[in-house]
Structure 1
Amino acid sequence: MEYVNPIKNIDEIQLIKEILKKQSSRDFVLFVLGINTGLKINTLLSLKINQLVDESGTIFSFLHVDNQTIYLNDQVKSALTFHLNQNKTTIDDYLFKSPKSELPISRQQAYRVIHDAARKAGIDDQIGTHTLRKTFGYHAYIKGIAISLIQARFHHASPSETFRYIGMDATDQKIDVNL
């Protein structure tokens, strides 16, 4: 398995979002949901619309999956609304349904979507499906979320494992109380 990196630059994230939004609402919501929840790609691909939206079309504030409760922020809700308005779906459909079947897209297809969008955005770094999760972890930590909470979300054994996973090391840690 090839090592991939998080996307640390916010401008690059925005550019990928713009590219994917023009390309496919499904691919756009895959990226947005991935970088805002930190869920594994297999979990994302197995999501059904009824796990995120009720029968009246109201998007839930929390997703309950894999014994976790995941907050769905405004970015996710906006992307979901865009996707659902663009497509004819039923509540029982997979969120990331393949156009060729009733099943979700494959992990390989998800990789191609993310990797190709990164290349179109001019990102030469190693990018893949784990990039979504790593990007979530990196930016959560940068915004002040305790590494222990990110570690718990990722089911990692130690904080050092999580630091490595999100592309940081001990020298990157900055403690500034700014009193």
Structure 2
Amino acid sequence: MAEVEAIKDLDKVRLISHLLEIRCSKQMADIWNIGLNLALRISDLLSIKFTDIRDGRLIIFEGKTGKRAEIKLNEKAQLLINNIQLKHRNHIYLFQSYRNRQSINRKPKPLNRRSVTKAFMLVGEELGIRLGTHSMRKSRGFHLYKKTNDIARVMKMLRHSSEGVTLRYIGIDQEVIDTDFVELEI
């Protein structure tokens, strides 16, 4: 699987949302926008049930690590989630599969990862970037780091255990470090 990147330009973040909605579906744009705000792995994001959300908080156990993630929902995430819930009152999953014939008259299932990957790759190809399902998580981490310059805070949000892993994950590479040296004169 190809390495995907953090989206470092906020205008491009918004453009991706727009393109996902017009090229794919509102549901794909919602996955992008909520994913950016929750910084979860795609498997955890797609497995969210409405019952996992209580009092403005999402509480889940991460599939990969088994760690408990308790995330206070920001206003944007809460609004998007509320809109989805209003539109699909009988859904169990936040991102429930409901469009294809296989989902009719069957036990409810979340949207599958392959569908999301395909939609993201389509938009990424159009923009000439390596866009994938991890781009949401990486982008959130990158922008938090740029805002705070606090790698420990980013590590905690992403639930990583190493600074080096987190820096590499969010795309702080030699090029960024070089730029920081050139731009910051003391």
**TM-score class normalised by the smaller sequence:** 0.7 to 0.9
Task: Report how far residue 161 of structure 1 moved.
Answer: 0.9
1:146 is matched with: 150
Question: Helix, strand or coil: the match of 1:143?
Answer: helix
Once the two structures are TM-superposed, the CA of residue 170 in structure 1 deviates from its matched residue by 6.0
Matched, 1:168 2:169: no
Structure of larger gyration radius: 2
**How far apart in 1 are the matches of 2:95 and 2:3?**
25
Deviation at 1:168, TM superposition (A): 0.5
Structure of greater relative contact order (alpha carbons < 8 Å, 6+ residues apart): 1
Is the contact between residue 19 and residue 117 of structure 1 (CA under 8 Å) also seen in structure 2? yes
Q: List alignment gaps of at least 5 residues for structure 2.
A: 62-67
Deviations 1:61-106 (A, max 9, x none): 2211221211211221222233334x3332x611111123221111
Aligned residues: 167
Please report how far the alpha carbon of residue 167 of structure 1 lies from its aligned counterpart in structure 2 after TM superposition: 0.5
The separation in 1 between residues aligned to 2:149 and 2:73, in whole angstroms, is 16
2:115 matches 1:109 = yes
Distance 1:70 1:109, change over 3 A: same
TM-score with structure 1 setting the length: 0.81
Counterpart position of 1:57:
none
Where in structure 1 do 4 or more consecutive aligned residues deviate above 6 Å?
none
1:39-70 per-residue CA deviation (whole Å, 9 max, x = no partner) reads: 01110011012223x6xxxxx42211221211
Matched with 1:79 is 80
RMSD: 2.4
Given the two structures, how large is their TM-score scaled by the length of structure 2?
A: 0.78
Per the alignment, residue 97 of structure 1 pairs with 96
Where in structure 2 are the equivalents of 1:64-75 lying within 5 Å? 64-66=59-61, 67-75=68-76
CA distance in 2, matches of 1:70, 1:30: 16
Stretches of structure 1 lacking an aligned partner (at least 5 in a row): 55-59
